Amino acid sequence: MAQLSIGIVGLGRMGGNMARRLARGGVRVVGHDAMPGAGALLEEEGAIVAAESIAALVGALPVPRVVWLMVPAGEPTETTLGTLAATLAPGDTIVDGGNANYKDSQRRAGDLAPRGVQFVDCGVSGGVWGLDNGYALMFGGTPDAARAVGDYMRILAPAPDRGWLHCGPAGAGHFVKMIHNGIEYAMMQAYAEGFALLDGKHEFGLDTAAIAETWRHGSVVRAWLLDLIAEFLARDATLDAIAPHVADSGEGRWTVAEAIEQGVPAPVFALALMSRFSSQGRGDYANRMLARMRQAFGGHAVRGADPGTRG
């Protein structure tokens, strides 16, 4: 049986570790990254054969080719797909493993179909732990496209028979991943609020790290997120060195927009997203307005802004 080969475009934390896991599984990986030298360490490790360009990557793969993208959503994905579409041949397959909007994935599959190039949209979960533990993979595409990528899914997943799913037609994979991330936002928010209340009850002198460790065993709220919480609280329970700023990748916004589009109530998803916006300072102007309104109608005092807090 011929050795499996795959191309990976985008060798950052996720793409690089996925290349390593595939190489450990016996796959020949040809890798390319837009940033010069990004694949040098991976090549030194023997995880990839580095390609200086997308054309070189395509030329180094046997047909039919499978090329997996791990690049940021939006324009970087559009540009890379355009280059690949002009280079690949009928029967080849592109996998978009980034956090793309499922509607974009549906459009991209439609654009590639007349060229005979198959498109798979794949939601990838597992973060930096995926290299050793495997990735949860949820993907969309035609049955033929699913068969073309099945062997790679079995290697990347936690086990060959679990942790990966062909969810449906093009767009289905990124749609399922979008909902997954909405749930993730809500779970993270619930844990954060609960531990904030524990930390704020000073009269009890609660050991939040010990509580997290206790909840990991037999509790209804045990989860991998709680395992991670227990680990970092054991090292630093005050979190004083961490800025109270939580970024959002866009998946939470898409999930809330989908709920509005369907008319399905998803208040927890929406509130978790709004909390992230608040942490980013996006509620500061509204809060200043509230303070001035209280002062205007009730004569209540307002606090002066600390130097350097205005952005």
Residue 214: how many CB atoms within 10 A of its CB?
13
**Separation CA 96–CA 117 (nearest Å):** 13
**Separation CA 45–CA 49 (nearest Å):** 10
User: Any idea which residue has 């909405």 for tokens?
Assistant: 182
**Separation CA 301–CA 43 (nearest Å):** 63
**Separation CA 38–CA 70 (nearest Å):** 13
The catalytically annotated residue of 184, 213, 251, 261 is: 184
Walk across the sheet containing 66-69 and list its strands.
Answer: 49-50, 28-32, 5-9, 66-69, 93-96, 118-125, 136-140, 164-168
The catalytically annotated residue of 45, 177, 201, 251 is: 177
Write down how long the chain is.
311
User: Any idea which residue has 């200086």 for tokens?
Assistant: 52
Would you state the torsion angle of the CA atoms of residues 75, 76, 82, 87, taken in this order, to the nearest 10 degrees? Answer: 180
CA distances from 155 to 70, 232, 240, 274 (A): 17, 30, 40, 37
User: Would you report the helix, strand and coil content of the chain in percent, each value rounded to 5?
Assistant: 50, 15, 35
Three-state SS at 278 = helix
201 catalytic residue (yes or no): no
Cβ atoms of 95 and 118 within 8 Å: the answer is no
**Separation CA 122–CA 96 (nearest Å):** 6
Enumerate the active-site residues: 177, 184
